[in-house]
Amino acid sequence: MPDPTPLSEAKRKLFQEYLRGGVGKSGAERALICPRPHGIPIPLSFAQQQIWLHGQMASDVPFYNETMTIYRHGPLDLATLERCLLEIIRRHDIWRTTFEVIRGEPVQIVHPTPRMIPLPLVDLRKLPEPEREAEAMRLATEDARRPFDLKNGPLLRALLVRIDDEQFRLYMTVHQIIFDAVTAYRVFLPELATLYQAFVADKPSPLPELPIQYADFAYWQRKRSSDHTGAKHIPYWRKQLAGELSPLEWPNDRPRPPMETHRGAIQRFVLSEHLVRNLRCLSQQEGVSVYMTLLAGLVALLHRFTGQEDIVVGSLTAGRSEAELEPLLGYFVNPLTLRANLSGNPTFRELLSRVREAVLDALAHQDAPFPHVVRELRHRPDPSRNPLFQVVLSQQPQLPSMPSGWDLATEEVCNGGSKLDLMIVLDDRTDRIIGPITYNPDLFDDSAITRMVGNWKTLLTGAVAEPGKHVADLPVLTDQERNQTVVEWNDTRVNCPKELCLPALLEAQVGRTPDATAVVYEQERLSYRELNARANQLAHYLRKLGVGPEVLVGICMERSVNMMVALLGILKAGGAYVPLDPAYPEERLAFMINDSGLQVLIIHEPFRSTLSERGAKLVRIDKDWPLISQQSRDNPAAEVEPENLAYVMYTSGSTGRPKGVQICHHSLVNLLTSMRGRPGLTEKDSLMAVTTISFDIAALELYLPLVVGARCVLASRAWSETGSDCRGCWTIMKLR
């Protein structure tokens, strides 16, 4: 299928330059960077100033400590390695720079080359082989979490760990104000490998001297800004980011703290060779880069997570648009804000086209420093979030060719901090794509990040297979999640005793734990034996009044132990109860009594004047108890069947007249059996019943404890409605 939006000639050239690994400028556009005048204070670059300002206000979490791991496979001479590091520090002023405030402005202070660099060596060969990697990571993590002093320096540390005879790890921790990942890949490791090869052979450094330093760039950038060079890009960003930039409202595992905590954790991911091969094929077919395809997949996933059609994510550019900057160490990275539009439920192919346009437009205007863009937009600051975006998808540069035996990984060691909610870094190793995901554990569990990666892979797999599918139809659930959702969560079968009713379940439990406490209300409590006996006496009494299967009995009582006796007595007699809340208006109570056709009404004596008999036989459980207590304490013969009614609940009547909803014993027993297994209740537990019996959930609170041998603690009406005297209720629950 042809590309739905062919590129203009200008964007085609920009895209080709991007695919070659950089977006530079033509000779006519380039501005030569010259050495700065001597004797004047060295300003911070705009990127450095942002880090410096943020560092002054942020917490003690060292989230600006950047880490890289140099893997050395082969022999390594410690003295030669130290000489290489010192030579790199000599060549690059920025790695011997500190930062001070002079006349109210932060400035760079370049120091002479030190005579030596601390390079502790830890030999782990005495440890069992399976323990070495973990111990090396522990040592590196400990070092990465030590803060730097920007004023006194130095702002880098090195730790060498020997894993085996010819296996070494050089762990570097560098403050971000003097370092970025492009520095690591394009400059530091190539220089280190080249110098080591020369020095170990007793040859001089083959590296040419640098014509300019990072400080020259910072001076040039400031001067260029004062001349308003680059201001032409601001209107684009003002238009592109106009309107409301809604933050991503995805399902965090915990509520977002009111202030960014900057705590961080790292999880590494791998995209398989098979998936990467298909991603490259689709990218080539659609005229996009692999990064753009992965970005489209991430944007689609965030859309599926949040339901938002306007998705804003961040990206990072190398910030080295001038050729003179390529061989320099330092912090040049400039964040870009990428805004993706998912309105109209596009196909993945259409989304790819939209993402490509967004990326190329942003690259064409990357010379606007990010702090300037934020300032110009004047969005209301939110201390709980990073401005403009909370998620970044970044790509590491390709490692250049170099002597064998050297390799590099950045952000492999966790410094305990995070700058954003989520930062994904892509390290393209040709046959696979790997990388770290840095996330804030105050928002996400590690398991949530694992699920997100799985969802991302699933969506990408579906997209490369059917790019013409609409984003809303692409698969997201992993096989495990689909099985859990479709099979496991729908496997609700339980061994429900279909022939039994609630009275039989209670009587069986009485036989198992007759002396255990069954119900508690304030200072009164009944054992299973006594509760069953009292309910039996009431059941025999009610049968003499004509109560049996399908006969409705009203109950209007305050919460008490006798309320539980009344409910169970009605069920044991074979009847079905109709809850009448004493707090209801008289008109509603009258309607429920007349509409249900109650034949018997059980009340507390104080409610007699409110209800009157209204044609029903009246049982005043408190006043009539001397007569009721003369009945047999034995279980009455079972007359009720599972299909008979257990109770009738009246709806609120908000959509018209209240309606009585009929619940049979089979449904009640099915609920109790299911809830007994999940979430589960045992005889060691207590369950507080707080819901009025006029709501269906009350049946669970009242009866589930009684069928498992647990304890039902009845909360008073005052506590249920206001939470008053909760300490007393809690004390009762804890007592056994």
Residue 124 tokens, joined = 């782990």
Report pLDDT digits (tens) over 94-125: 999 999 999 999 999 999 999 999 999 999 99
**Residue 416 DSSP code:** S
- Could you tell me the strand order of the sheet in which 686-689 lies? 524-527, 517-521, 711-714, 686-689
Please determine, for residue 25, whether its predicted confidence score (pLDDT) is greater than 60: no
Lowest mean pLDDT across 203-217, 239-253, 481-495 = 481-495
Please determine, for residue 612, whether its predicted confidence score (pLDDT) is greater than 70: no
Please report which confidence band the pLDDT of residue 555 belongs to, taking 50, 70 and 90 as the band edges: very high
Residue that has been written with the tokens 């402005």 in this structure: 105
Please report which confidence band the pLDDT of residue 376 belongs to, taking 50, 70 and 90 as the band edges: confident
Beta strand extents in 582-685 (DSSP E only): 600-603, 617-620, 645-650, 660-664
Mean pLDDT highest for which of 136-145, 393-402, 589-598?
A: 136-145
pLDDT on residue 28:
47
pLDDT on residue 346:
97
Q: At what angle do helices 697-708 and 665-675 cross, to 10 degrees?
A: 70
Report pLDDT digits (tens) over 120-164: 999 999 999 999 999 999 999 999 999 999 999 999 999 999 999
Q: Would you call 104 exposed, middle or buried from its count of C-beta atoms within 10 A (0-12, 13-18, 19+)?
A: exposed
Question: Contact at 8 Å (CB) between 663 and 649?
Answer: yes
Dist. CA 475–CA 493, nearest whole Å:
28
Please report which confidence band the pLDDT of residue 727 belongs to, taking 50, 70 and 90 as the band edges: very low
Better pLDDT: 381 or 176 = 176
Report pLDDT digits (tens) over 473-482: 999 999 999 9
pLDDT on residue 724:
53
pLDDT on residue 652:
83
Q: How far lies 28's CA from each of 24, 96, 220, 227, 605, in Å?
A: 12, 34, 18, 18, 99
Report pLDDT digits (tens) over 624-682: 999 999 999 999 998 899 999 999 999 987 777 889 999 999 999 989 988 887 778 88
Report pLDDT digits (tens) over 281-321: 999 999 999 999 999 999 999 999 999 999 999 999 999 88
Please determine, for residue 192, whether its predicted confidence score (pLDDT) is greater than 70: yes
pLDDT on residue 378:
79
Report pLDDT digits (tens) over 42-67: 999 999 999 998 877 766 789 999 99
Report pLDDT digits (tens) over 334-368: 999 999 999 999 999 999 999 999 999 999 999 89
Which residues face 169 on adjacent strands? Answer: 71, 161
666 phi, psi to nearest 5 deg: -60, -40
Question: Contact at 8 Å (CB) between 705 and 681?
Answer: yes
pLDDT on residue 264:
94
- Full set of structural domains in the chain with CATH: 9-18+35-233+240-249+257-483 (3.30.559.30), 502-734 (3.40.50.12780)
Please report which confidence band the pLDDT of residue 416 belongs to, taking 50, 70 and 90 as the band edges: very high
SS3 content of the chain, % helix, strand, coil (to 5): 40, 20, 40
Please determine, for residue 725, whether its predicted confidence score (pLDDT) is greater than 60: no
* Residues, the chain: 736
Q: What is the mean pLDDT of residues 562-566?
A: 96
Q: What is the mean pLDDT of residues 536-542?
A: 96
Please report which confidence band the pLDDT of residue 1 belongs to, taking 50, 70 and 90 as the band edges: very low
Please determine, for residue 6, whether its predicted confidence score (pLDDT) is greater than 90: no
Please report which confidence band the pLDDT of residue 403 belongs to, taking 50, 70 and 90 as the band edges: confident
Lowest mean pLDDT across 276-280, 573-577, 724-728 = 724-728
Please report which confidence band the pLDDT of residue 730 belongs to, taking 50, 70 and 90 as the band edges: very low
Lowest mean pLDDT across 508-517, 700-709, 711-720 = 711-720
pLDDT on residue 98:
97
Please report which confidence band the pLDDT of residue 615 belongs to, taking 50, 70 and 90 as the band edges: confident
Dist. CA 547–CA 576, nearest whole Å:
9
Please report which confidence band the pLDDT of residue 543 belongs to, taking 50, 70 and 90 as the band edges: very high
Q: How far lies 74's CA from each of 109, 165, 194, 276, 406, in Å?
A: 38, 8, 15, 30, 9
pLDDT on residue 733:
43
